[in-house]
Chain A
Amino acid sequence: MVTIEFLGPIQKAAITMEAASLRDVAEVLKQDSELAQWIESCAVAVNDTLVGSLDTPLKSGDKVSLLPPVCGG
């Protein structure tokens, strides 16, 4: 199982799912109406490293994080 966590202002509890790659995660999250406003603006990290490909492989125990637009300072 892979854990998906939603950071910052996304008001959503973490979920778990079976996924072999980030593409599997994307297919599920794109169907989630709670995330419709966030999908296009979020960066994605796997185990706390930002990633740039939906082909990023996932294994059981991995953590996927969604990072919405930032504004520190």
Chain B
Amino acid sequence: MVELYEGSLNVPEILTRWYADEAEHNYGAYIPFVGTVREEDGIEGLSFDVYEPILTAWFEAWVAKAAPMGATLKMAHSRGDVLVHESSYIAAVFSPKRRVALETIEKFVEDFKASAPIWKYDLKNGARIYAAERSTPISGAGLLGSNE
């Protein structure tokens, strides 16, 4: 299940709870990735729109892909405004051995950046500005403009 929160994430609470949830499941590795908003280009923070139905389907497909490797995935993300030095994203992998967890967290986070239906905005001078240059078209984009 994807955990969605209004505003910034309570990182210690989430990481501790996930650790406790899986503590008795014989995993040898727990690798969390925490995304924190950096001070850059004078932004006050970032803001996010999330489209939950497709995000959930994307995440569940990853859970199914990780399961045969013995790995469990977890994810939390913010909606709305997250200020500089607060965190908006946590992904984590649990697996019996470190190699699967290390490889899976990289692939999972990279595919998240390319595919998850989440839109980012800079908060600057009181405005909410779509981060167009930093955004990636989802695979298959442009269908409506094609002639196939």
Contacts and interface: CB of A to CB of B under 8 A. Distances in A.
Interface residues of A, number: 31
B42 interface: no
Interface string B101-116: 0000000010011111
Contacts of A42: 137, 141-144
B148 interface: yes
B143 A69 contact: no
Contacts of A66: 144
A45 interface: yes
B142 A72 contact: no
Contact of A48 (B35, B54, B130, B146): B54
15 contacts: A8-B51, A25-B144, A40-B141, A41-B137, A43-B139, A44-B140, A45-B54, A53-B148, A67-B138, A68-B135, A70-B115, A70-B136, A70-B138, A72-B48, A72-B118
Query: Per DSSP, are chain B's interface residues mostly helix, strand or loop, or mixed?
Result: mixed
A73 B119 contact: no
B18 to A, nearest CB: 18
Nearest to A44: B143
A15 interface: no
A26 interface: yes
Interface of A: 7-9, 22, 25-26, 29-30, 39-45, 48-54, 65-73
Contacts of B135: 68-71
B49 A8 contact: yes
Contacts of B131: 71
Contact of B144 (A7, A30, A69, A73): A30
Contacts of B139: 43
